[in-house]
Amino acid sequence: MQRKTRIDAFGGTLLVTFSMLMGLNQVMIKLVNAGFQPVFQAGLRSACALVPVLAFALLTRRKLSVTDGSFRPGLLCGAFFATEFMLLFVSLEYTSVSRASLFFYTMPFWVAAAAHFLIPGERLTPVRLSGLALAVAGTAWALLDNAEPVSAYAMIGDLACLVGAMLWAGIALLTRTTRLSRSTPVMQLTYQLSVSAVLLLAAAPLFGPLVREPTPVILGIFAFQVLVVVSVGFLTWFWILSRYPASDMASFGFLTPLFGVLFGWIMLDEPITVSIIGALLLVSLGIVLVNRKPRNPAGAADRFGARTSSP
Q: Does 202 map to a domain?
A: yes
Which residue did the predictor score with more confidence, 108 or 200? 200
Is residue 47's pLDDT more than 90? yes
What integer pLDDT is reported at residue 18 of this predicted model?
A: 86
HSE at residue 139, side-chain half, CA atoms within 13 A, is 28
pLDDT tens digits, one per residue of 214-261:
999 999 999 999 999 888 887 787 778 778 876 677 567 667 778 888
Number of compact structural domains in the chain: 1
Q: Does 51 map to a domain?
A: yes
Three-state SS string over 59-93 comes to: HCCCCCCCCCCCHHHHHHHHHHHHHHHHHHHHHCC
What integer pLDDT is reported at residue 134 of this predicted model?
A: 86
Is residue 30's pLDDT more than 90? yes
275-311 burial code (b ≥16 CB/10 A, e <16): ebeebbebbeebbebbbebeeeeeeebeeebeebeee
Q: Does 311 map to a domain?
A: no
Is residue 34's pLDDT more than 80? yes
What integer pLDDT is reported at residue 216 of this predicted model?
A: 96
Query: Mean pLDDT for the chain?
Result: 83
pLDDT tens digits, one per residue of 169-195:
899 899 888 999 888 888 998 999 999
What integer pLDDT is reported at residue 292 of this predicted model?
A: 60
What integer pLDDT is reported at residue 193 of this predicted model?
A: 94
pLDDT band at 87 (very low <50, low <70, confident <90, very high): very high
Highest mean pLDDT among 99-103, 239-243, 300-304: 99-103
Strand, coil or helix: 211:
strand
Q: Does 75 map to a domain?
A: yes
Is residue 304's pLDDT more than 60? no
Q: Does 113 map to a domain?
A: yes
Q: Which domain holds residue 86?
A: 9-290
What integer pLDDT is reported at residue 293 of this predicted model?
A: 57
Q: Does 210 map to a domain?
A: yes
pTM above 0.85, yes or no: no
